[in-house]
């Protein structure tokens, strides 16, 4: 009898301890998210070395094609029963659009660090917006992101996409005939199905305030602008060796100080 009571007491204690530990982990994660959200984030743009300046002078300026929804922003509109953002989260801006003669309000949330990201990459690339959304909506979003800076002047919308099997495909040849100088940033692999070698995938964003995906791309985009072309033939083994070395360097230098300029190794790799 005493043994049974001891076992029951032990089980109760273990269950209580497990719940207490789970609650402690929950509080710890919440505190970490808060700290990450409000930490000072920066990416230092240092002066280029003479070698890098010479390299940039010899290559064409690249084109960076940007998707909108779930890549740079996330939005939901009137009538959505289960919005994908946390209730009570204020939108960065509200768009009033007339669709099929009906006024619709879109509540738009900007991905963390998107303004800084656009400010930096606009100095490195010609920026082009390419969205599968309707022009009346996509144009309004692009205007807000541009914020009168004239960095998102070229724009392509749903009518410029190709409809295949119910999904919209973005043909990059519409943007420029020379595909060796175009790279697309998009959360949807199906959108760049025709040009997978020109794509930089990025995870879909909905509401995470601690997201740093755009900042994490800056070292690679900084290096890519020095390249002769954005991709090389699949059979070219040295290219893959160079990429592997560069990725290792980014991991070594970028993880501990990922918001700093990573390294100038792109000067020595024919990426």
The domains located in the chain, with CATH, are 40-267 (3.40.50.1000)
Whether the pLDDT of residue 32 is over 50: the answer is yes
The number of beta carbons lying within 10 Å of the beta carbon of residue 138 is 20
Residue positions annotated with a catalytic role: 67, 69
Whether the pLDDT of residue 34 is over 70: the answer is no
pTM of the model: 0.72
Rounded mean pLDDT of 160-169? 92
Whether the pLDDT of residue 50 is over 90: the answer is no
190-233 pLDDT, tens digit each = 999 999 999 999 999 998 999 999 999 999 999 899 888 888 65
| Token representation of residue 186 | 């998009």
From residue 139, alpha-carbon distances to 47, 64, 95, 158 in Å are: 34, 18, 11, 11
Nearest CA-CA partner of 71 in 11, 14, 127? 127
Per-residue confidence (pLDDT) for residue 232, from 0 to 100? 60
Per-residue confidence (pLDDT) for residue 26, from 0 to 100? 72
Per-residue confidence (pLDDT) for residue 29, from 0 to 100? 66
Nearest CA-CA partner of 171 in 30, 163, 138, 63? 163
Per-residue confidence (pLDDT) for residue 236, from 0 to 100? 44
Rounded mean pLDDT of 17-35? 72
97-135 pLDDT, tens digit each = 888 888 999 999 999 999 999 999 999 999 999 999 999
| Token representation of residue 44 | 């230092």
From residue 149, alpha-carbon distances to 143, 146, 153, 263 in Å are: 9, 6, 9, 29
Nearest CA-CA partner of 159 in 148, 170, 147? 170
| pLDDT greater at residue 78 or residue 105 | 105
Whether the pLDDT of residue 171 is over 80: the answer is yes
Rounded distance between C-alpha atoms, residue 33 and residue 36, angstroms:
5
For residue 49, what pLDDT band results from cuts at 50, 70 and 90? Answer: confident
Under a CB-based contact definition with an 8 Å cutoff, are residues 106 and 77 in contact? yes
Per-residue confidence (pLDDT) for residue 41, from 0 to 100? 59
């Amino acid at each position: 009898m005493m043994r049974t009571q001891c076992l029951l007491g032990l089980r109760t204690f273990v269950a209580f301890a497990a719940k207490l530990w789970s609650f402690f982990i929950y509080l710890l994660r919440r505190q970490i998210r808060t700290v990450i959200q409000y930490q000072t984030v920066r990416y230092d743009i240092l002066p280029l070395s003479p070698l890098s300046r010479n390299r940039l002078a010899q290559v064409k300026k690249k084109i960076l094609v940007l998707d909108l929804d779930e890549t740079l922003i996330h939005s939901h509109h009137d009538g959505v029963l289960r919005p994908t953002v946390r209730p009570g989260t204020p939108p960065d801006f509200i768009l009033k659009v007339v669709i099929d003669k009906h006024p619709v309000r879109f509540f738009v949330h900007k991905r963390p660090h998107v303004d800084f990201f656009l400010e930096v990459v606009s100095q490195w690339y010609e920026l082009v917006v390419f969205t599968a959304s309707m022009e009346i909506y996509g144009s309004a979003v692009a205007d807000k992101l541009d914020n009168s800076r004239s960095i998102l002047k070229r724009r392509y919308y749903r009518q410029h996409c190709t409809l295949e099997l119910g999904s919209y495909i973005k043909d990059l040849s519409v943007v420029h005939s020379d595909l060796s100088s175009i790279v697309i940033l998009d959360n949807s692999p199906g959108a760049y199905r025709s040009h997978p070698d020109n794509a930089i995938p990025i995870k879909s964003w909905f509401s995470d305030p601690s997201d740093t995906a755009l900042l994490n791309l800056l070292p690679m985009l900084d290096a890519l602008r020095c390249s002769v072309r954005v991709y090389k033939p699949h059979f070219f083994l040295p290219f893959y060796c160079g990429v592997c070395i560069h990725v290792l360097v980014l991991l070594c230098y970028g993880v501990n100080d990922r918001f700093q300029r990573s390294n100038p190794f792109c000067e020595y790799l024919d990426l």
